[in-house]
Structure 1
Amino acid sequence: MPADAPNPHADTARDPAVLDPASEERVDRLLWFGRGMAQIVSVPALVLMAAFVGFAGLARESGVPVQYAAMLTALVWALPSTVIMVAAIKSNATLFAAMLAVSLSAVRLMPMTMALVPILRGPRTRTITLLALSHFVAVTSWVFGMTQLPALPRDARVPYYAGFAITLTTVNIGVTVVAYIAAGALPPALAAALSLLTPLYFILSLWGASRLPSDRLALVFGMVLAPVMNKVSPDYELLLVGLIGGSAAYGIGRWTRRRGGAEDGGGEAA
């Protein structure tokens, strides 16, 4: 090759158009992470922000300092658990009692996490990544993951969910601080009403995402049985509602499907 001839490989490493597979993968992950972040401008996220405005007002009325309220948002995260923690602080409960109450309220998140992890996991997803992301599992992020992730490529699901969940948590820490400072102008009744937006959204989202009639029947049974079981056994209300209502809905759904199959078989035989 002549001395003054251009070397076709000389600037390959510096050419931005020539990327190695690892660089392309990093760019792709950042792209999906950014798309997940963009979902912060959505109805579910805005509903949760409004609910945390109510939580900030409750924390202020209970005498919880603003830095503790922000810490609860970041570390406890699930709104019902943060409300229970504030109530425990207000009532001067012992550390063990507060820890036990918050832990029991968070038990409901375990089956939600178990349902979400198989959808999140890709062929190269590390266990430590799934453990880190499990911290962000709460009603809003769970509904988001269960409805949005199945339509995405496997490799895109973890960065997409991480972008949404991390941004959602960070923004709500800021919402808690700002709302706490401004909570003096917020009527207590309005603060309490805002806290109810998240469970209301959760029920409506589950209804819309239900694929089987038995799923919706379970929701109906749950709403009917909840006030009854609260009177019968407040300590085991959630467990009893899920056990009785869920089992009844499953049994009715199974019986309906078997009956429908028998009728179809009889029609074909005729």
Structure 2
Amino acid sequence: MKNGETAGSARHWFLAGMMGIFSLPATILMLSFVGFCAFTAQAGIPVEQVVFMVGAVWALPAKVILVSSILGGANVLTAFIAVTLSSIRLMPMVAALVPEIRTQRTPTWLLLLLSHFVAITAWVFAMERVQSVPRERRIVFFAGFGITLVLANMTLVGVVYQFVTEFPPIVAGCLFFLTPVYFLASIWSSARHPVIYVALAVGLVAGPVFYWIAPEFDILLAGVGGGTAAWLAERSWRQRKEARA
């Protein structure tokens, strides 16, 4: 390597993180963003707002919920609550990742900054690979991947926006379908507790039901109701198991 760059240098590990953009998880996410771009284009949201949304509201499901709430006629408060509830799931991911990448000298402001890039793809990618990275370089490794992933998707959305508007409806529909498929597959594969599987199943059933009953609050009700029902079911199952033991 040139200019004194070594295998343990910060530059080396930042570039190693950047190369994660060519991984399968990153590729699937970028394809999903093409589908999201088609969704926003058909919804009539200007491209500059979509690009800003990609960078500011990083988690893809949160963006889908935000746009869906707007199209469904939900008020600002309802949309805010729905997006907030969908993003609460990222808190345990941050709590699990931070001990793996920080050192005693890592400033808090840097951890807070990098937490913005924590979503399913970045979290799964980092948790699978940071063990092979020297601890003092894990921050720059994750920063390289997270920053590159966000900027790549912002660029992708800005470039393809004008083309997806010309896609046949069936093509746009298939591309957008990648978004929920990716979301469900990622959550399912990264789940570490049975209650998550139950919550997904209940949510899939409750979503269409609540859309028919209360279209303006369908996502919020399905999320809160599905999660609560899953928690109660899992708690009841655990209590019966402990009683039998």
Normalised by the length of structure 2, the TM-score is 0.79
Q: For the residues of structure 1 that align with 2:195 and 2:62, how far apart are their CA atoms?
A: 24
SS of the aligned residue for 1:110 comes to helix
Question: Which of 97, 103, 116 is matched with 2:97 structurally?
Answer: 116
**Match runs of 1:206-245 below 5 Å:** 206=190, 215=193, 217-227=194-204, 234=222, 236-244=224-232
Deviation at 1:238, TM superposition (A): 4.4
Q: Which residue of 2 aligns with 1:88?
A: 69
Deviation at 1:41, TM superposition (A): 0.3
**Match runs of 1:137-156 below 5 Å:** 137-156=118-137
Contact 1:73 1:173 in 2 (8 A): yes
**Match runs of 1:251-266 below 5 Å:** none
Structure 1 residues 223 and 197, CA gap change in structure 2 (3 angstroms): closer
SS of the aligned residue for 1:39 comes to helix
Flag the structure with larger Rg: 1
Instruction: Please identify runs of 4+ aligned residues in structure 1 that moved more than 6 A.
Output: 248-252
> Once the two structures are superposed, what CA deviation does each residue of 1:2-35 show, in whole Å capped at 9, x if it has no partner?
xxxxxxxxxxxxxx77xxxxx989x811111000
Q: Which residue of 2 aligns with 1:105?
A: 86
Q: For the residues of structure 2 that align with 1:103 and 1:204, how far apart are their CA atoms?
A: 21
Structure 1 residues 248 and 227, CA gap change in structure 2 (3 angstroms): farther
RMSD after superposition: 3.0
Q: Which amino acid aligns with 1:185?
A: F
Q: For the residues of structure 2 that align with 1:245 and 1:47, how far apart are their CA atoms?
A: 33
Q: Which residue of 2 aligns with 1:266?
A: none
Q: For the residues of structure 2 that align with 1:220 and 1:95, how far apart are their CA atoms?
A: 30
**Match runs of 1:7-22 below 5 Å:** none
Q: Which residue of 2 aligns with 1:134?
A: 115
Deviation at 1:242, TM superposition (A): 4.9
Which structure has more relative contact order (CA 8 Å, sep 6+)? It is: 2
Structure 1 residue runs without a partner (length 5+)? 1-15, 18-22, 260-270
Deviation at 1:190, TM superposition (A): 1.1
Comparing 183-192 with 110-119, which one deviates more in the overlay? 183-192
Structure 1 residues 83 and 182, CA gap change in structure 2 (3 angstroms): same
Q: Which amino acid aligns with 1:154?
A: R
1:185 paired with 2:167, answer yes
Comparing 50-59 with 197-206, which one deviates more in the overlay? 197-206
State the number of aligned residues. Answer: 228
Deviation at 1:85, TM superposition (A): 1.8
Structure 2 residue runs without a partner (length 5+)? 211-220
Q: Which amino acid aligns with 1:101?
A: A
Normalised by the length of structure 1, the TM-score is 0.73
Q: Which residue of 1 aligns with 2:33?
A: 52
Contact 2:199 2:227 in 1 (8 A): no
